[in-house]
Amino acid sequence: MADISSRLTGLRDLTPPDRRARVVQAAGLSEQDAQILAGADVLRMTLADGMIENVIGKFELPMGVATNFTVNGKDYLVPMVVEEPSVVAAASFMARIARDCGGFVTSSDRPVMRAQVQVLRPEDPHGARQRLLSARDELIAMANARDTVLTGLGGGCKDIEVQVFDDTPVGAMVVLHLLVDVRDAMGANTVNTMAETIASRVAEIARGEVRLRILSNLADLRLVRARVEIAPAALSAAGLDGADVVQGMVEACALAVIDPYRAATHNKGIMNGIDSVVVATGNDWRAIEAGAHAYAARGGRYTSLSRWERGADGALMGTLELPLALGLVGGATKTHPAAQAAIRMLGVTSATELAEVVAAVGLAQNMAALRALATEGIQKGHMTLHARNIAILAGAEGAEVDRVARAIVAAGEVSVDRAARELALPRD
């Protein structure tokens, strides 16, 4: 695919069909993709019925597009599916500031997932551990025999780890981890199958009984990192100069680093960005949430997933690191037509590239929240966008939405009642 520009100005002022046309053109998508992104009965009932059980219908959410993203020098138009106002606007705004400062830079580990095999009542737990480690090659070969397609692609089981828990509520326990490079898959099915395949041999070698055989969502070998460096002048807001905003953002982050009460909210803001892209691309957002929060607590105390620091020249330095078990093959990423169109819009060609863009969006979202919190507070921007929802609820359409929203914000009364009264006023 040819390089695209993610800098689409004036998108906000267009109608949804006109916006879609601009995005489709900018991303080089087909007319068929345009139809799919429009969302009219895209997920056929027969398809939906095959995806989960007891299907009775479908549930719609808006899909927006975040603009301005530059990641590792490449532009991306980012599909975001989310119900919360201001998420898409905030990501786009911060991406615009970031692109003028060189954009986001990312890196990632190989896509290695863990599967656990739990061994109960081992005769000699520490001896079992050593016997299992000695059988490493045999166990890896056994696991890989189940997925020759994956090994043909350069993936597959690469190693094992074994842990002993001497004292648990049910006695001593040995836990074997299979470390599997799952390439472009999220990997749950692959690693679960491998764990089940080797289970009885593990029980034999360990001289115990196997119970659980399942992946770990704490995908701490599949970490993705994003960073950004922002010149202070680019951050000035609400009458504050850039250096003050940098100072405020660094101080705001410090609370999330030391205090789980703040860290939960801070990380929720990061996940606003991450989940929206994860959902749009048909990925398992519960797995991503579980992995992110478990990783945030890995040191024994829940903390911030990101860090914001002041560099030597006063620049704001933001970094984010978290596990991202995302796939481009399998599951809804393959079966849901809108997820497929979203992936084509992004123009990513590997799960790793998708994960790196997702991490950049998470960092942008976090930057937006901290900038707002460190300056005018979160409610002003939030309310301005929320007011659009209220205006629509009161019956406003088209250009009326903005007019009514602006009026109720200016009046400091963002309510349906006030919006209805504004709507009834004659226009000049």
Cα dihedral 128, 129, 130, 132 sign: positive
Q: Which two tokens stand for residue 140?
A: 């890896």
Crossing angle for the helix pair 136-144 and 188-206, nearest 10 degrees? 140
Q: Could you tell me the two tokens for 277?
A: 């892209």
Strand-strand pairing, 173-181 and 316-323: unpaired
Q: Which of 360, 286, 293 is nearest to 326 (CA)?
A: 286
Looking at 265, 335, 389, 415, which residue binds ligand MEV (CB under 6 A)? 265
Which CB sits closer to ligand MEV, 92 or 190?
92
- Which range binds ligand MEV by CB under 6 A, 62-70, 117-125, 164-172, 262-270? 262-270
Among 369, 401, 409, 414, binds ligand MEV (CB under 6 A): 369
By CB under 6 A, name the one of 232, 269, 291, 381 that touches ligand MEV.
269
Comparison of 84 and 138: residue with beta carbon closer to ligand MEV:
84
Q: Which stretch binds ligand MEV (CB under 6 A): 31-39, 94-102, 174-182, 265-273?
A: 265-273
| Cα–Cα distance measured from residue 332 to residue 51, given in angstroms and rounded to the nearest whole number | 8
Reduced to 3 states, what is the DSSP secondary structure of residue 276? Answer: helix
Query: What percentage of the chain's residues is helix, strand, coil (to nearest 5)?
Result: 50, 20, 30
Helix axes 337-346, 351-374, angle to 10 degrees: 80
Whose Cβ is closer to ligand MEV: residue 156's or residue 269's?
269
Measured between alpha carbons, how far apart are the two ends of the chain, in Å? 48
Q: Does 386 bind ligand MEV (CB under 6 A)?
A: no
| Sole window of 37-45, 59-67, 158-166, 268-276 interacting with ligand MEV (rule: CB under 6 A) | 268-276
Contact 90, 145 (CB under 8 A): no
Contact stretch for ligand MEV (CB under 6 A) within 37-45, 229-237, 267-275, 291-299: 267-275
* C-beta closer to ligand MEV: residue 165 or 261: 261
CA 126 to chain centre: 39
- The answer to whether residue 378 forms part of the interface with ligand MEV (CB under 6 A) is yes
CA atoms within 13 A on the CB side of 316: 34
> What is the number of the residue whose Cβ is closest to ligand MEV?
269
Q: Using the rule CB under 6 A, is 272 a contact of ligand MEV?
A: yes
User: Does position 266 bind ligand MEV by CB under 6 A?
Assistant: yes
Q: Which residues are catalytic?
A: 84, 268, 284, 382
**Kind of pairing, strands 156-165 and 105-108?**
unpaired
**91 or 135: whose CB is closer to ligand MEV?**
91
Q: Which is nearer to ligand MEV, 151 or 265 (CB)?
A: 265
Q: Is 111 in the site for ligand MEV (CB under 6 A)?
A: no
Q: What type of residue is 405? A: A
Contact positions vs ligand MEV (CB under 6 A): 84, 265-266, 268-269, 272, 369, 373, 378
